[in-house]
Amino acid sequence: MKIIMLGAPGAGKGTQAKMIAEKCGIPHISTGDIFRANIKQGTELGRKAKEFMDKGLLVPDELTCDLVVDRIQKDDCANGFILDGFPRTIRQGEVLEEALTGLGQKVDCALDIVVPDESIIERMAGRRACVGCGATYHIVFAPTKTEGICDKCGEKLILRDDDKPETVQRRLAVYHEQTQPLEDFYAARGVLKEVDGTQTMDKVFGDILGILGV
Ligand code: ADP
Ligand code: AMP
């Protein structure tokens, strides 16, 4: 099963993608996580990506596409994968399609998690990320047992630089302009499935399992 997650930043793509990956036994591939890992390790890719991420802009396609095309050809993707945060432009959608066609494959399902902009602002302001393992929480909707400390690894939690309100506004504008057109792109291919992302996390997950038939 080859699944991609669509939806605004903060719609809940990562939250759901992790659960789907576990349930279906396929890897969760998040380009945002890959960039953040590179920033943490101080690589050249991380240095370049950070310039764009901190401004709420997309990392250019030429830095993004090759790494995804390489990643989806690794052995652990033999039974499928779930892409979270990629594609984010029509060009990225085309590159993915060309790569999959070359492998005799295609996207089976584009899950679009729909959440209005007002709720996105609230979600991003409350999102907290672990500096150690990257786990994501929310101060109201998914709190940790001890405030500010990751349940999974015990490291401290931070508000991501790009989750600050002024950057969130920019990221939302970029989403509507550059990423949302992918809804039509995947609808035209008959694989777009919309999910009401304003429901509780468990309810959203239930709807997704129904769509995937797993
Ligand atoms: P994305 O990967 O789309 O940017 P996340 O999965 O990181 O979004 O979710 C953004 C924030 O909203 C996180 O703090 C997460 O805990 C919270 N969240 C995710 N899904 C829901 C939901 N259905 N209801 C309330 N909060 C949610
Ligand atoms: P995310 O964790 O998915 O919200 O991504 C965080 C940031 O990483 C985004 O705001 C972009 O700057 C960058 N990024 C992640 N995925 C992509 C992508 N597919 N194309 C361009 N930039 C991306």
How many angstroms is it from 64 CA to the middle of ligand 2?
A: 9
CA triple 10-100-59, angle to 5 deg: 40
Residues spanned by the domain of 80? 2-27+74-212
CA 140 and chain centroid, separation: 21
Structure confidence at residue 115 (pLDDT): 98
- Residue 93 placed within a domain: yes
- Residue 81 placed within a domain: yes
- Residue 45 placed within a domain: no
**Widest pairwise Cα distance in the chain:** 48
Structure confidence at residue 113 (pLDDT): 98
CATH number of 183's domain: 3.40.50.300
> Which atom of ligand 1 is the closest one to the Cα of 7?
3
Structure confidence at residue 143 (pLDDT): 97
Structure confidence at residue 57 (pLDDT): 97
- Return the structure tokens found at 213: 């038939």
Structure confidence at residue 200 (pLDDT): 97
- Residue 181 placed within a domain: yes
Ligand 1 proximal residues by C-beta, below 6 Å: 7, 9-15, 123, 126-127, 136-138, 141-142, 200-201, 204
Structure confidence at residue 193 (pLDDT): 98
- Residue 98 placed within a domain: yes
Is the N-terminal amide bond of 27 cis, ω within 30° of 0?
A: no
Q: Work out how many domains the chain is built from and give that number.
A: 1
CA distances from 190 to 30, 34, 100, 109, 214 (A): 24, 29, 16, 9, 19
- The pTM of the whole model exceeds 0.95: yes
Structure confidence at residue 71 (pLDDT): 98
- Residue 49 placed within a domain: no
- Residue 178 placed within a domain: yes
Query: In this structure, are residues 92 and 86 in contact, taking their beta carbons and an 8 Å threshold?
Result: yes
Buried b (16+ CB within 10 A) or exposed e, 54-81: eebebbebebbbebbbebbeeeebeebb
Structure confidence at residue 198 (pLDDT): 98
- Residue 187 placed within a domain: yes
Question: Ligand 1, residues 4, 15, 152, 180: which to mutate, most atoms within 8 A of Cβ?
Answer: 15
Q: Rg of the chain's alpha carbons, rounded to an integer? A: 16
Closest to 100 (Cα-Cα) out of 210, 178, 3: 3
Q: How far apart are CA 128 and CA 111, in angstroms?
A: 24
- Neighbour-count burial of 20, counting CB atoms closer than 10 A to its CB (0-12 exposed, 13-18 middle, 19+ buried): buried
Structure confidence at residue 212 (pLDDT): 97
pLDDT per residue, tens digit, the chain (214 aa), is 999 999 999 999 999 999 999 999 999 999 999 999 999 999 999 999 999 999 999 999 999 999 999 999 999 999 999 999 999 999 999 999 999 999 999 999 999 999 999 999 989 999 999 999 999 999 999 999 999 999 999 999 999 989 998 899 999 999 999 999 999 999 999 999 999 999 999 999 999 999 999 9
